[in-house]
Copies of this chain bind each other. A is one copy, B any other.
Amino acid sequence: MALIVQKFGGTSVGSIERIRNVAWRVAKWQAAGHRVVVVPSAMSGETNRLLTLAAGLQEHPDPRELDVVAATGEQVTVGLLAMALLALGVKARSYTGWQVKVLTDSAHTQARIISIDEVNLRQDLENGCVAVVAGFQGVDMDGNITTLGRGGSDTSAVALAAALGADECQIYTDVDGVYTTDPRIVPEARRLKSISFEEMIELASAGSRVLQIRSVEFAGKYKVPTRVLSSLTDPKIPVEEEARSGTLITFEEDPHMAMEKAVVSGVAAQRDEAKVTVHGVPDKPGIAYSILGPIADAGINVDVIVQNVSHDGTTDLSFTLGRADLKRAMKMLNDQVKPAIKCKEITGDDHMAKVSIVGLGMRSHAGIAAQMFRTLAEEGINIQMISTSEIKISVVIDEKYAELAVRVLHKAFELEQG
Interface residues of A (CB under 8 A from B): 16, 19-20, 50, 53-54, 56-58, 61-62, 64-69, 71-72, 75-76, 78-80, 82-84, 86-87, 93-94, 96, 98-99, 143, 145
Q: Which of B53, B65, B83 contacts A61 (CB 8 A)?
A: B83
Tell whether, in the assembled complex, residue A75 and residue B83 are in contact, meaning their CB atoms are under 8 Å apart: no
Report if A58-B75 is in contact (Cβ < 8 Å); known contacts: A80-B53, A80-B69, A98-B98: no
Partner of A62, one of B50, B62, B65, B83: B83
Evaluate contact between A16 and B56: CB separation under 8 angstroms: yes
Chain B contacts of A69 at CB under 8 A? Answer: 75-76, 79-80
From residue A31, how far is it (CB to closest CB) to chain B in Å?
A: 19
Residues of B within 8 A of A98 (CB): 98
Q: A57-B16, A80-B53 are known contacts. Are A86 and B65 too (CB-CB below 8 A)?
A: yes
- Docked Cα-Cα span, A86 to B69, in Å, equals 15
Residue with the greatest number of chain B CB neighbours at <10 A, chosen from A54, A58, A64, A68: A68
Considering the chains assembled together, what is the distance between the CA atoms of A96 and B99 in angstroms? 13
Contacts A/B (CB < 8 Å), 10 sampled? A16-B56, A19-B57, A54-B80, A58-B86, A65-B80, A65-B94, A68-B78, A68-B79, A69-B80, A98-B98
A99 with B143: CB separation less than 8 A: yes
Instruction: List, in ascending order, chain B residues with CB within 8 A of A64's CB.
Output: 93-94
Across-interface contacts of A83 in B (CB, < 8 A): 54, 57-58, 61-62, 65-66
**This chain: copies in complex:** 2
B65:A72 contact, CB within 8 angstroms = no
Given A16-B53, A53-B16, A53-B76, answer yes or no on A86-B62 (Cβ-Cβ < 8 Å).
yes
Q: Is the CB of B79 within 8 A of A65?
A: yes
Do A76 and B82 have beta carbons less than 8 Å apart? Answer: no
- Given known contacts A65-B94, A66-B79, A98-B98, what 14 new A-B pairs fall within 8 Å (CB)? A16-B53, A19-B57, A54-B79, A62-B83, A64-B94, A65-B79, A65-B80, A65-B83, A67-B79, A68-B96, A69-B76, A71-B75, A72-B76, A99-B145
Interface pair A57/B96, CB less than 8 Å apart: no
Q: How far is the CA of A99 from the CA of B65 in the complex (A)?
A: 13
Return A40 CB to nearest CB of chain B, in Å.
13
Decide: A62 and B80 in contact? CB cutoff 8 A: no
**In the complex, what's the smallest C-beta–C-beta distance from A332 to chain B, in angstroms?**
26
Q: Which residues of B sit under 8 angstroms from A99, Cβ to Cβ?
A: 143, 145
Our pick among B50, B56, B86, B87 for the contact of A76 (Cβ within 8 Å) is B50
Cα–Cα, bound, A61→B85 (Å): 11
**Cα distance A59–B290 when bound, in Å?**
64
Q: How far is the CA of A20 from the CA of B56 in the complex (A)?
A: 10
Residue in B closest to A49 when the chains form the complex, CB atoms: B76
Task: Please judge, given known A-B contacts A58-B83, A83-B54, A83-B62, whether A94 and B78 are in contact too, CB under 8 Å.
Answer: no
Query: What's the nearest-Cβ distance from chain B to residue A16, in Å?
Result: 4
Residue among B62, B68, B87, B94 making CB contact with A75, cutoff 8 Å = B68
Cβ contacts under 8 Å, A16 to chain B: 53, 56-57
Complex: how many Å from CA A50 to CA B84?
14
Determine which of B20, B50, B54, B56 lies in contact with A57 in the assembled complex, contact meaning CB atoms within 8 Å: B20
What residue in chain B is nearest A74 (Cβ atoms)? B72
A94 — nearest CB in chain B belongs to which residue? B68
